[in-house]
Chains A and B, each alone.
Chain A
Amino acid sequence: MPQPIQFLPPKQDVLSRRATIIDDLRGLLPADCVIHEARELVPFETDAFISYRRMPLAVVLPRTTSQVAAVMKYCHRYGIPVVPRGAGTSLSGGAIPQEDAVVLGLSRMSRIIEIDYANRTATVQAGVTNLSISEAVAVDGFFYAPDPSSQLACTIGGNIGMNSGGAHCLKYGVTTNNLLGVKLVLVDGQVIELGGKHLDAAGYDLLGLVCGSEGQLGIVTEATVRLIAKPEGARPVLFGFSTSEEAGACVADIIAAGIIPVAIEFMDKPAIEICEAFAKAGYPLEVGALLIVEVEGSEAEMDATLENIVEIARRHQVMTVRECQSATEAALIWKGRKSAFGATGRIADYICMDGTVPLGKLSYVLKKTSEIIDRFGLRVANVFHAGDGNMHPLILFNANDPEEAMKAEEAGNEILKLCVDAGGCLTGEHGVGIEKRDLMRHQYTPAELSQQMAVRAAFDEGWILNPSKVFPLEGRG
């Protein structure tokens, strides 16, 4: 029987000074920026990885970079752990606090600072939601490319923390490929700027290092991101296959043919049923697996590309091909896909895996995944970004049944190990958080983990920033 995921034991000296710390924080920030009443702390106990929760010592919601810097300077001085938080949509527990930690929430730093079309950049505060950037520039024909499913709620600061992807990054890349600069508050309260509106920064690629560092290297308070001209048109097409293996093989052949659609999304039968029941997107229910392939460009370009894709799909005995006839229909197709996690949450509790595998291994990993799930007597719904091999098996379980919950975790761990052994990695876009922390040893050698932790220590020697995450608790040195 596996053990529940551990957190670092709370620092007793910090806990015993709770009242003083809260007083001090209230001295540093306006009164409404410090939350400490138990009742008000509840919403900050967990994130979207709901199996685990911890009550934080306090929550601060600063409005400016200098307020963030003041909090960091104070917490650094007294060795108080700090857990940064955007919208709390992390699927790996990246924003779950701990008893001795101050949660540093960026939600009130939600201003778009500058839109610069001449340089195609947007400079925003870290608490701005992902979608609101695209919404702000849509009228002028631009968008911000990374589009995680939670884009309505998740913040750009959180996206940077987890190097978030989304459905459309097959063509446009993930957050790190679309990020030009950040304002970063270091652990001791110093404020630095990395990058800017120019395309590459001087010195070491600290920006690249910070992106995806899960709040362990500093607090991002502002970001400059790249805007992209919206394509003339975009068209998602549904392809239904009899089996998941056929669909997986079709994906590999599309890529092998040198065609790079904007997105290739995969759903298996359980996922199709769950999403269709929720979103009424018109997905075919008689198929065993579904691909949503989106192409973009002018009408003629889309027609030409789709013709090639349809021909490849035919070779894999495609059962249904459905092009949408209107923008409403297109939106509905995406609504179904993007609501997959929410819709699943309505019928069961679930944990969402995020392993990524080489494309040639997709079919094999899908098959092995279902074997693992069967062995544990669980159910799984697969919905993922197939074009880049980023798999999202949703393992369904009943959270009120502790034994089943542990089984789900155990099955998840096996699936992730399977992804690593197939030449992939533990997490493509959700981050390690607490969820995959103890699996890091499966992917990295002790020397490799030590090297990463040493680099981490160059930023935060005292392990104050989000300390229970990413790296196994033992052997931190």
Chain B
Amino acid sequence: MLIPNTEADAAYVIRNAAAERKPLAICGNNTRGFAKANQPAEPISSRGLTGIVDYDPAEMVMTVRSGTPVSEVETALAANRQMMAFEPMDHRGILATKGEPTIGGVFAANVSGPRRLTAGAARDSLLGLRFVNGRGEIIRAGGRVMKNVTGLDLTKLLAGSRGTLGFITEVTFRVLPVPPAVETVVISSLDDEMAAKAMAAAVALPVEISGAAHLPASVRSRFINGLLPDGEATVLRLEGLGPSVEVRAQKLAAVVEAFGPVATLGMERSLTLWREIRNVVPYADGTEKPLWRVSVAPSAGYHLVSALRLEAGIDAFYDWQGGLVWMRMEADPEAELLRRYIRALGGGHATMIRASEAAHAEVPTFEPLPDAIAALSARVKEKLDPAGIFCSGRMGG
């Protein structure tokens, strides 16, 4: 494994690899399972590039080298009562991986959690980055200001490109104050369809919901030590100043009572619950059962699940108001079936986050793209990585 200790070293190594057309598999600490290449490739890790470069809490902006552990970033932020608003999930539970997730990996895979619904994804908080392209050139994109339309937004392009376009060496992102109070309103015993309706009604209210998830009976007991009220749990999160959260919780409860019995969880349980939702704990089950992350329109999530249930053994729960479906297959990945239904329900995409080696060999991890978009994506990749040394095929292109 190549572990450059400076950006200049990384550029040098990559320049040489490009000259020799030697494939490289860019990674951090491999906790997110995206390091699989479709060809033998030498791993190159960001783990040697560590440390917070610049953090001014007053400006709510942080610049960090890409191999810095997420935990180190979170600790520094917490000391100033700030946070990454997009709540990046930790994949170690569901993938049974070890080691420290890196901040570079968060942005390279555009990892976002429950607050994505209202606060945007990782890519929305990312203000700028530095990366080494496939020619071995150091490129800066974006900057450290919130508003920036100076040239093409390569920052967005690199976010979520999973090491196929460049080796990210440094990221600059916006952070937000930690809300002093958190409350969760739970509606019990709704089926998936009613839950979708309740969540849509809730987010339409002027109460600023910052998380909306539905936990069907099959997974409910896996959260907060089984302390959620009996039956299915539709959970709605409110955050902010204490008195404001209290008032909003009352307003919200008064409206969603029409759907079913309502309870609140309080701050401590709320914090645990949303962390567990973020980390997909019901499927941190130590198995290799195929696990899908499906992104569809919020109102399409429950249709998809109910259609699939008739044809395959599945278990699922919903985040993002129903638009993010975590789906575990009992046996086969059922990729074709799943992707056919997604298309029929208005579009979206499915990523096979976990599967056995055999299933991974057969099933494309990422949603196959329409021909015109696939061709365009291939052209874009060719412009950043002309020699094709960065794990061609990892994104399906």
Contact = CB atoms under 8 A, between A and B. Distances in A.
Interface of A: 116-121, 141-142, 162-163, 165, 169-170, 173-174, 176-177, 186, 190, 192-194, 196-209, 211-213, 216, 229-232, 252-253, 255-256, 258, 260, 297-298, 300-301, 304-305, 356-360, 385, 388-390, 423-432, 436, 440, 443-445, 447-449, 451-452, 454-459, 470-471
A428 B148 contact: yes
Contacts of A471: 151
A196 B346 contact: yes
Contact of B372 (A190, A196, A202, A359): A190
A455 B383 contact: yes
A297 B366 CA distance: 41
Nearest to B320: A199
A76 B369 CA distance: 25
Contacts of B370: 192-193
Contacts of B271: none
A423 B347 contact: no
A255 B298 contact: no
A165 to B, nearest CB: 5
A130 to B, nearest CB: 16
Given A356-B147, A452-B152, 18 more contacts: A118-B298, A119-B200, A174-B147, A192-B372, A192-B376, A200-B295, A204-B381, A205-B160, A206-B157, A208-B157, A231-B206, A255-B59, A258-B177, A360-B58, A388-B147, A440-B151, A457-B383, A459-B379
15 contacts: A120-B298, A176-B156, A177-B124, A198-B323, A205-B157, A206-B376, A216-B152, A256-B59, A258-B177, A297-B208, A432-B149, A444-B151, A452-B151, A455-B380, A470-B151
From A142, A163, A301, A390, name the one whose CB has the most chain B CB atoms within 10 angstroms: A301
Contacts, number: 267
Interchain residue pairs A-B with the least CB separation, the first 9: A208-B156, A256-B58, A428-B147, A258-B177, A202-B349, A197-B297, A458-B379, A454-B383, A202-B367
B121 interface: yes
B332 interface: no
B123 A229 contact: no
B176 interface: yes
A163 B156 contact: no
Contacts of B177: 258, 260
Contacts of B395: 203-204
B297 A196 contact: yes
Contact of A389 (B116, B145, B348, B381): B145
A141 B145 contact: no
B347 A432 contact: no
A451 B145 contact: no
A374 B348 CA distance: 55
Contacts of B347: 193, 196-198
B147 A300 contact: no
Contacts of B81: 258
B396 A203 contact: yes
Contacts of A451: 133, 137, 139, 154, 383-384
Contacts of A205: 110, 123, 156-157, 159-161
Contacts of A194: 373
Contacts of A449: 151
Nearest to B244: A301
A116 B203 CA distance: 13
Given A198-B348, A358-B145, A300 B116 contact: no
A193 B143 CA distance: 29
Given A255-B59, A301-B244, A452-B154, A458 B147 contact: no
Contacts of A452: 151-152, 154
B296 interface: yes
A265 to B, nearest CB: 14
From B205, B241, B396, name the one whose CB has the most chain A CB atoms within 10 angstroms: B241
Given A117-B204, A198-B349, A451-B384, A177 B120 contact: yes
A430 B349 contact: no
A458 B116 contact: no
B145 A206 contact: no
A252 B320 CA distance: 33
Interface in B272-322: 295-300, 320
A173 B147 CA distance: 9
Nearest to B151: A452
Interface string B240-276: 1101100110000000000000000000000000000
A252 B146 CA distance: 14
Main secondary structure of the interface of B (DSSP, over half): mixed
Interface in B326-359: 346-349, 351
A470 B247 CA distance: 49
Interface in B9-36: none
B150 interface: yes
Contact of B153 (A211, A428, A436): A211
B147 A429 contact: yes
B117 interface: yes
Contacts of B139: 447-448, 451
B56 to A, nearest CB: 7
A414 B349 CA distance: 47
A162 B150 CA distance: 9
Contact of B384 (A170, A198, A455): A455
A385 B82 CA distance: 23
B369 A202 contact: yes
Nearest to A360: B59
Nearest to A191: B372
B58 A359 contact: yes
B185 interface: no
B140 interface: yes
Contact of A358 (B116, B121, B144): B144
B138 interface: yes
A426 B351 CA distance: 38
A300 B250 CA distance: 14
B154 A455 contact: yes
B153 A447 contact: no
B71 interface: no
A431 B148 CA distance: 9
Contacts of B112: 200
B147 A192 contact: no
B74 interface: no
A213 B244 contact: no
Contact of B152 (A356, A427, A455): A455
A170 B176 CA distance: 12
Given A356-B148, A427-B150, A440-B151, A204 B206 contact: no
B51 interface: no
B270 to A, nearest CB: 19
A196 B20 CA distance: 41
Contacts of B159: 205, 208
Interface in B152-192: 152-157, 159-161, 165, 176-177
B93 interface: no
A121 B300 CA distance: 13
Given A196-B348, A260-B176, A427-B149, A459 B376 contact: yes
Contacts of B97: none
Contacts of A170: 146
B95 interface: no
A230 B117 CA distance: 16
B233 to A, nearest CB: 21
A357 B348 CA distance: 37
Contacts of B247: 298, 300-301
A389 B146 contact: yes
Contact of A165 (B147, B323, B366): B147
